[in-house]
Structure formats: structure tokens, C-alpha cells
Amino acid sequence: MTDTTEGTELAAATLPLRAPAVSPATDALNAQEGLTEKPESLGRQAWNRFRRHKLAIIGVGLLFSLAFAFLVGPVFSPYEVGETNVLDNNQGPSLAHPFGTDPLGRDYFVRAMVGGRFSLLIALVTAICATAIGLVFGSLAGYFGGVFDIAVGFVINALLTIPGLLILIIYGREVGNNLFLLAIVIAVISWVRAARLVRAQVLQLKESEFVLAARAAGAGPVRIITRHLLPNLYGTLLVEITLLVGAAIILESTLSFLGLGAQAPLTTLGNLVADNAGAIDTRPSRVLIPGAIITLIILSINFIGDALRDAVDPKAADES
Amino acid sequence: MNSSDDLLLKVDDLSVAFKTKKGMAEAVRGISLEVSRGESLAVVGESGSGKSVSMLALLNLLPASARIQGSALLGDTQLVGLDAKSMRSIRGRRIAMIFQDPMTAFNPVYTVGRQISETIEAHGTASSSEAMRRAIDLLELVGVPEPAQRVRQYPHEFSGGMRQRAMIAMAIANSPDLLIADEPTTALDVTIQAQVLDVLKDIRAETGAAMILITHDLGVVAGSADRVQVMYGGRVFERGTVDDVFHRPENPYTRGLLASMPRLDSIGGRLEPIPGTPPSVLNMPVGCAFSPRCTYRVDRCLQEPAQLQSLRLGHDNRCHLSGQLPDLVGSAASSDPGGHNDR
């Protein structure tokens, strides 16, 4: 549908040039037909390309359903997060407790939802912080080069020589009871890839003719970075944020599993798995449920990330 | 030549060298040129002759490895060594550039209208809504149909010729005194080339802007320039009025260029290419830069470079044999080679 209107639009645009023999009447008609339609914005086109990936649509649906459940699930449950009921402990799934209960008799559904909430929140904050740090350092290093590039390169290499897990093991426990500090510590070790991506793209973009054209038209460095380079990076950044969310959830789960991430009373999916690992033989559902939620989140995020990468590529053709 | 108060740009002994691992690459070796108000000067040469580099040097748009020397006066302003802020106020406002490839010179993520209006806003001469209105007027001026709709479209929704028109619109957005058109038609279909050249001509008639047209297409020169300057190996080899240089080419290189051009009036004739390739900027011949390829070469050409000397009023030539070459009667240069481009 959109493809056909676009076709006429293009044909109408080139007609007066390519085929001057066409009678003015038909010409005007074509032009009118094509141009009364409001031109499609780039965002709209990206969405059209995104839409074609069925798995990504499923991913979006799944992720939003999960996030929705995390947010409102606990509200509709008669139980509180920390509410213990020792008489009902270690139960399997039932109508009263859809996910069963843990050894202290806490409702496992509420715990899983709240854990998902925090896991997703940590991951989002981490991804956004890491991408922001990477964007700032990467674009400055790429655009100005020279000493700045060397300095940023040095920091990146230095960070790469230190295993991220080591930093997290050292600082994870200290910040484990503060979600935002934990997210920032994870971000500080994860911005490297974003910075390198941004730097590489800026290096390429700043040599492009449209940047030269902008300079020739009198634009200064601030204007060029904010108006010409950044908008060309949005796609890359969006993909990077998506993939970082997935990576951060895994990293946070790993940490929590090792007992180094979020500390009680905070609940995340990772420490739900960790706390109940001992019950794998007796009540496997307590390990499998948070594990499955992590898997579903990562899967949908990766589907979305793949489709986004496709959708935001400005050179991607609109046919097919 | 016009009187001196009409003089817009005076470039004197401009040199550009690039620092490379293999030593200094002298891309431009002391060129001079003058452009008067409203005049159109064509700079012709092969790839590597230094024509684009010298123009980018005027606006200090070269990479940091470039060393620029000499003098370039725009009115009273010395462009060589001008501080970054003053240079930015000249770029786009007093001297504007039109680039070769309209496919890549637009930012793909912005609408054409925004890019044109941004050029206006960058110089703080208009508010954003006013700038957008002017963008529509400008697009209309360069012959883009339905400009009010077209400003909302993205560069990829424009055809090549329309994009080049839009680029011209962007260049004249701040009514510059001088347009530098760097091979404005090279990336276009032949049928569209003529249209774009016409637009340029009309625009200049309307705004009175002077133009430096960089090209390797002699047909383009014939149709749209008053004077022509032939460059080779970073130097000016011959210059004069278009008629003079085309009808009475004095330099062996210019003669070679004219002879290697396809013509409509000599069907079946063979083209005569200039043998060899242009010299590397890292390894210039000791003598005349063209000597290794020159059919008229004498011993002196290999030993010392020739000086640019005046042959007659307004016609300069750089050749040891200046004025001594046989006349080209009835040969390639005897009729207007670019006649098909005249309206």
C-alpha cells in the first residue's frame, strides 16, 4: 500500500525531467496525485521496515506484557512482597499462589513480578547510562581526534584489560543495596563498546560530503555535532541500548547469583534464582520461573534489536 | 579586465602542501587568479591538477595536514590564516560552494527544506519560520516544482537533477558574492547537466553573484564561463577569455585537452588522447610539469620550469615555446567546441 503511493510520488517527481514529452495536463495530474500525500517521515519508514519482522513484533508484545505484569501484577495480588506465612511454605503452584510459595511462605508470583521490575529497571538505567557515556566520549574522540582520541583510546584499553566482573565483585557488594549505584557501576564497565561504535561512525561521518557542505555553509563544530552527526547516530544508539539492556540483565543476574549484586531486601530475577537454587530438585518451578522470565526478556530484546538494526539503516531499500 | 574596485577575489601565489609520510605533497604550487563581481571564471584541469584543493584552501576546508601559503584577498579580508570564527562568517555567506555529488552532499536524516533553512539560520539572518519560507522561495527560484511540498521531503526522495538544484538553492540562500561550483554537473546525466547549467546561469543573472566553476569538461566551460584558467600539476598553464583560449590555444596542454574532446562536427574522426598520466604531486618533474607528455618538448623543458607570461592582453601562457607553436588551422581548436551547450 505505502509502496505504491511512494512509487507514484517518485515517478511524478522525476517525470518533468526524464520525460519532457509528456503532455502538461497528465504531468500536472501526476504531480498532484503524488504530492498531495504528505511525505513519509524517516521514523515512519523505519517503523514500516520494523513491522516486517514478525519475531520482533512478537518480542515487543512479549516485552510489554511482561513489563505490564511486573508493574500491575503485584497490585492485584492479595499478598505483599515481604509477607510471610510459614504455614503455607514451600508450596507448588496453585490457585491461591499461582507460582507457589518459598520456604518462608512468601507468595512467589509477587516476588517474581517485583524481581522482574527491578531487573528491568537496573538494565534500562544501565543501558541508557552506558550509551550516554559512550556517546559523549566516542563522539568527542571521533570528531576532534588528536590528543582527545588518544586519551579516550587509552581509557578504553585500560578498561578492557581489567575484567569487568572483577570491578563488579569489588564494588558490587558495596552498592548492592542501591539500585541506581549498581546500575551505574555496571554502566561504567559497559560503555566501551558504545564508545567505539560511536567513534567509528563519527570518524566516517565527519569525512562525508554533507559535513563538508555544512562547514562550507558556515556551520561550527557544535552545530555540526548536534545537528548533523548525532541525528545520524540515533539508529545505532537505539540498537546499542536494546542490546545493552539484554546484556545488563544477564550481568546483573550473574552477579546476583554469585551473591554480589542486589542484596536483600531488594529482589531481582537473578537473586531469586540464586536463593532458590537449592530447591532445584524439590521445587524446580522456583528456579525455572525466574529463569524463564530472564530468557523471555533476553529473547524478545534480541529479536527487537535485530529488527531495529534493520529498520534504522537509512540505506536499507524500501522494496521487498 | 574590469577596473580594480570591481575586483572581488584576488588570489596571489597560493600554495597548498600536504604533510605525508613520503614528504610534502605540493598539490598547488603558486597559483594566482582574479575574479571580478558578477564574472564567471572556469578552472579547468585533470584530476590531481590542484583545482579543487585550491578552492577548498580558500575557505580553509582542507584537513589539518594541509599547509596553505600565499595570499587570497576577498575584498579587504585576507582569507589565508583567517581565524576560525571569521572564516565561518564568510563560508556560506560571502563565498558559497556547490559540490560535485548532490547524492552525498545532503544529510540523509533531514528534509531538504530544513537543510536549506538551517544554512540561513546558521548566519542568524532570519527566524526559523522565515527561513523555511525563504527555502520555499529558493527552491522555486531554481526550478523545483511544487516547492511547498518539496521542502518537506528527504534528499532520497529527490532525483539527481532536483537535488543539484536544491544544492544550488542552498548555496545562494545567503546571497553570497561568490559561488564556487566544484564540478557541479559531473555526477549528473547528460540531459540534466544542461538544465543545471542553465539554472546556474539564470541564478547568477538574478543575484549578480560571481562564480568560479571547477570542471574538467570543456563543453561546460564554453557554455557558462567568461574566462578560463587551465591548470596542470598545481600551476596555471594558460588563461584568457573563453573565446581566446578555445580558438587560439597557445599551450600544448590546452591543445591536447581540446584535441581529446569528442566533437559533434567531425564524425568518424579519432580522438587524440594526451599520452601518459599526470605527474605525482610527490614527484614533480624538475622542468615543466607537462614536459614528460608534451609533443612539442625541447631540451629546455626538461631542465627548468617555464614562467607564466603574458601573450597578449588578458591571455597568459606558461610555456618555453610560448608564441612559437605552429597555428592550428582547421584543426580541433578552430571552431567552438562546446557549441551544444549554448542556448
Residue B265 DSSP symbol = S
CA-nearest of B24, B70, A222 to B79 is B70
| Nearest chain A residue (CA) to B57 | A216
| Residues 6+ away with beta carbon under 8 Å from A198 | A134, A135, A137, A138, A139, A142, A233, A236, A237
Q: Is A291 exposed, middle or buried (0-12, 13-18, 19+ CB in 10 A)?
A: middle
pTM of the complete model:
0.75
In angstroms, the Cα distances linking B321 to A59, B229, B318, B326 are 78, 19, 9, 10
| Residues 6+ away with beta carbon under 8 Å from B44 | B51, B215, B216, B218, B221, B228, B229, B230, B231, B257
Tens of pLDDT along A165-195? 777 777 767 776 777 787 888 888 888 888 9
The span from the CA of B187 to the CA of B106, in Å, is 14
Cβ-Cβ contacts under 8 Å, A232 against chain B:
107-109
Q: Do A209 and B108 touch (CB under 8 A)?
A: no
| Nearest chain B residue (CA) to A9 | B157
The span from the CA of B331 to the CA of B343, in Å, is 24
The span from the CA of A145 to the CA of A206, in Å, is 11
Give me the interface pTM, i.e. the ipTM.
0.81
Given a contact cutoff of 8 angstroms between Cβ atoms, the answer to whether B301 and B318 are in contact is no
Cβ-Cβ contacts under 8 Å, A216 against chain B:
59, 61, 91-92, 96-97, 99
| Nearest chain A residue (CA) to B182 | A213
Cβ-Cβ contacts under 8 Å, A31 against chain B:
145-146
Taking the CA of residue B262 and the nearest CA in chain A, the distance in Å comes to: 24
Q: What is the full per-residue pLDDT of chain B (343 aa) written as tens digits?
A: 444 568 999 999 999 999 888 888 889 999 999 999 999 999 998 888 888 899 999 999 998 889 999 999 998 899 998 998 999 999 989 999 998 888 888 988 888 999 999 888 888 777 888 889 999 999 998 889 899 989 988 888 888 888 999 999 999 998 899 999 998 888 888 888 888 888 899 889 988 899 999 998 888 888 889 999 999 989 999 999 999 998 889 899 999 888 888 777 666 677 888 888 888 888 888 889 998 888 888 888 888 888 888 888 889 999 998 888 887 644 444 444 444 444 3
Strands (E), chain B: 7-20, 23-36, 40-44, 66-74, 77-78, 95-98, 178-182, 210-215, 227-232, 235-241, 308-312, 315-318
| Nearest chain A residue (CA) to B111 | A41
Cβ-Cβ contacts under 8 Å, B174 against chain A:
218
Q: Do B99 and A213 touch (CB under 8 A)?
A: yes
Cβ-Cβ contacts under 8 Å, A208 against chain B:
104
